[in-house]
């Protein structure tokens, strides 16, 4: 793992063209460091890649299902692939522990960090930014409808504006493609969108959806 979640980018551009080149090298090195230390696959790509053929069109144009964006690993980021993790897989198993899942209480965390008792303007962005972020999130990720048959019951803290009792949160859909050989993995979640920044919220993540436009 990297020692810090923050990256201090040196202000190299003030050095002119040489600084730009140096800055690009720094970005490249940081990118490789993140690949090596902060990305962990939970997908069996060999199995999926065996059924994918990248034709000439896919080398220069978006494919409807997100395959062939990376020719060396064509299934990566495509529709129905699992999300990877950005922390060591052993570290995320605690989220499967029901006894500690709600410690600290997420509603209390939300109230403490996000509640507003007065208007606090964002001075560096406007409402367009919020709409754009929402628009892009819909392009990247969708686990499908949450499962409400066994919701997570989040206790409401005393004095909460929602009253007493608990807040029912539907669980993310279970990954039904897991095999017994993958029992050592933490919980995995499939994405019904393509993972790429590819306009799938407009064009869809399948040929059928694309052809309806």
- Residue 13: per-residue pLDDT: 59
Task: Give the Cα separation of 204 and 198 in Å (integer).
Answer: 10
Residues with Cβ within 8 Å of residue 107, at least 6 apart in sequence: 154, 155, 156, 157, 160, 167
Residue 167, helix vs strand vs coil: strand
Task: Give the Cα separation of 7 and 200 in Å (integer).
Answer: 30
- Averages of pLDDT over runs of 10 residues in the chain (213 residues) are 52 68 84 85 93 92 92 94 86 76 92 85 80 87 92 94 94 92 89 90 90 87
Point out which residues pair with 167 in neighbouring strands: 154
- Residue 184: per-residue pLDDT: 85
- Residue 1: per-residue pLDDT: 41
First-to-last C-alpha distance (Å) of the chain: 44
Where are the domains positioned within the chain?
8-38, 39-99+120-153+174-211
Task: Give the Cα separation of 183 and 82 in Å (integer).
Answer: 15
- Residue 10: per-residue pLDDT: 58
């Amino acid at each position: 793992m990297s020692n810090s979640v923050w990256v201090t980018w040196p202000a190299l551009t003030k050095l002119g063209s040489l600084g730009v080149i140096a800055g690009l090298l720094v970005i490249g090195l940081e990118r490789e460091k993140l690949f090596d230390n902060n990305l962990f696959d939970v997908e069996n790509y060999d199995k999926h890649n065996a059924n994918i053929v990248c034709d000439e069109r896919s080398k220069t144009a978006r494919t409807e299902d997100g395959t062939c964006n990376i020719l060396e690993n064509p299934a990566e980021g495509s529709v129905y692939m699992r999300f990877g993790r950005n922390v060591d897989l052993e570290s995320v198993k605690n989220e499967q522990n029901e006894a500690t899942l709600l410690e600290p209480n997420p509603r209390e965390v939300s109230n403490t960090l996000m509640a507003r008792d007065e208007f606090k303007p964002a001075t560096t962005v406007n409402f367009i930014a919020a709409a754009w972020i929402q628009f892009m999130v819909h392009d990247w990720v969708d686990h499908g409808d949450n499962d409400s048959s066994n919701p997570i019951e989040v206790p409401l803290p005393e004095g909460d504006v929602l009253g007493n009792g608990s807040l029912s949160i539907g669980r993310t859909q279970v990954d039904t493609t897991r095999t017994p050989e993958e029992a050592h993995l933490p919980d995995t979640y499939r994405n019904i969108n393509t993972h790429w920044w590819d306009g799938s919220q407009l064009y869809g993540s399948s040929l059928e959806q694309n052809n309806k436009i």
